Structures are given as structure tokens and as C-alpha cells.
Chains A and B, each alone.
Chain A
Amino acid sequence: AQRVTQPEKLLSVFKGAPVELKCNYSYSGSPELFWYVQYSRQRLQLLLRHISRESIKGFTADLNKGETSFHLKKPFAQEEDSAMYYCALKGGGNAGNMLTFGGGTRLMVKP
């Protein structure tokens, strides 16, 4: 069975500090991983996906298959980064493109 774990419910940092939101997964096949973000009073939206190896709003995430991790990082946090962040795993086979979400991490960036 596939599973996504985000060990931190809340992460609080000061503006300008580096931030790392942790995500670990368990999946027997070759995973596709995503980060979704939900800003206050806005809908949940895709932030980035590992296969595109892109940087969005200064965030990056690298898939580490050895550690089964997909941590989200940003070198200098901004106040507008405050939001809920969800890591998600797309499984194959019978699951089709069903996404399994982690429990979410609330990032608070203090001025």
C-alpha cells in the first residue's frame, strides 16, 4: 500500500530563514510525487511535481529514492509563503492516477 507521511504538523520560521518541509513516502513501484499548497481562503493548487524538476516561487523538491523522501525547500522564506502544504504520491497499476496525500504541514513565516 502507498503511504505519504509529513512528520511536522506546524513549521514556524522567521522571514528570510531557510525552510524545509519534510515528506516521506512508501511505495513499491516508481513513484510520481507532487507538492500542493493551500493559501488562506484559496483553493488547493499544485505547487510543483518532481518529474519537471522545476522551481516554483523559489521552492524546489528533490526525489530521493534511497531515503524515500521528497522534501520541499526554500532558501529564504517570505511571509506570503505562509500556507498549508500537502505532499502527494501518484501510484500506478489499479490506482490509476489516484493521489495519496500526506497529512499536511502548516508553514508560518513570521516577520
Chain B
Amino acid sequence: EADIYQTPRYLVIGTGKKITLECSQTMGHDKMYWYQQDPGMELHLIHYSYGVNSTEKGDLSSESTVSRIRTEHFPLTLESARPSHTSQYLCASSGRIYGYTFGSGTRLTVV
């Protein structure tokens, strides 16, 4: 079934660790996005990509980095996690027509 998948669903990790949040979509969408969302709060765009080898920073400054080597895959990496990175991270993709499809999110806790 065509969808967008995020792993892990939950992650608790110690300060200073390197982490990668995975996002993959099987819908053939060119555009993909990462949002940061504290529970019940605003969505802040942190990264987006319009296609392979295209990545841009979003409205909210983030210490994370992203890559887009394959159309379907858009991982987000934090080289050294800190408690201030504790949040929910949502991945989304969109095609030519309209609207976004969101993943289930990764809830990250840095202790």
C-alpha cells in the first residue's frame, strides 16, 4: 500500500549521541518535508526537498541535517543530540496535485 513510513515511532537517547530518523514514502512523490511539533502545538518546517540531491532549510532553524539520495528516502540526522531536541518530528510528502501526506511521526526524548 502506498504510504509514508517513519521509524522509530519512539526514541529515548542520551545526550551527545548521534541519531537518524528514517522517513520513506512509496507514493512516488517528489517533494518531502520535515516538521518539528511539540505536543498539541504549532508545526515548524525544519527541512524540505524538491527532489533527489535537493535539500533546503525551513523556517525554523535546526541543528539537524537531511539528505535525499533516493526519491523515496529522506532521513534526518542529529550529530549530537541534546535535551533541547526533545520533540516530535513529522515527515510528509506531496505530489503534483495537492495536499500533504504525513507519517505517524517520531517522538524523540533526549535525556
Contact surface of A with B, Cβ cutoff 8 Å = 32, 34, 36, 43-46, 49, 51, 84, 86, 90, 96-99, 101-104, 106
> How far apart are B72's CB and chain A's nearest CB, in angstroms?
18
Cross-chain contact B48 with A98 (CB below 8 angstroms): yes
User: Which residues of chain A have C-beta atoms less than 8 A from B92's C-beta?
Assistant: 44
Q: Interface residues of B, CB < 8 Å — how many?
A: 18
Which of chain B's residues has its CB closest to A101's CB? B43
User: Which residues of chain A have C-beta atoms less than 8 A from B31's C-beta?
Assistant: 96-97
- The docked-state distance in angstroms from the alpha carbon of A34 to that of B43 is 15
User: Which residues of chain A have C-beta atoms less than 8 A from B96's C-beta?
Assistant: 97
Contact surface of B with A, Cβ cutoff 8 Å = 31, 40-43, 48, 50, 90, 92, 94, 96, 98-100, 102-105
Which of A34, A45, A51, A104 touches B42 (beta carbons < 8 Å)? A104
Given known A43-B104, A44-B90, A96-B31, contact A90–B40 (CB-CB < 8 A): no
* The 3 A-B residue pairs with the shortest CB-CB distance in the complex, in nearest-first order: A44-B102, A103-B42, A101-B43
User: Which residues of chain A have C-beta atoms less than 8 A from B99's C-beta?
Assistant: 34, 46, 49, 99
- The docked-state distance in angstroms from the alpha carbon of A44 to that of B39 is 12
> How far apart are B25's CB and chain A's nearest CB, in angstroms?
13
- The docked-state distance in angstroms from the alpha carbon of A106 to that of B43 is 14
Which of A43, A45, A84, A101 touches B40 (beta carbons < 8 Å)? A84
User: Which residues of chain A have C-beta atoms less than 8 A from B43's C-beta?
Assistant: 44, 86, 101, 104
- The docked-state distance in angstroms from the alpha carbon of A104 to that of B105 is 17
- The docked-state distance in angstroms from the alpha carbon of A97 to that of B97 is 8
User: Which residues of chain A have C-beta atoms less than 8 A from B48's C-beta?
Assistant: 98
- The docked-state distance in angstroms from the alpha carbon of A104 to that of B88 is 15
- The docked-state distance in angstroms from the alpha carbon of A49 to that of B104 is 21
User: Which residues of chain B have C-beta atoms less than 8 A from A84's C-beta?
Assistant: 40
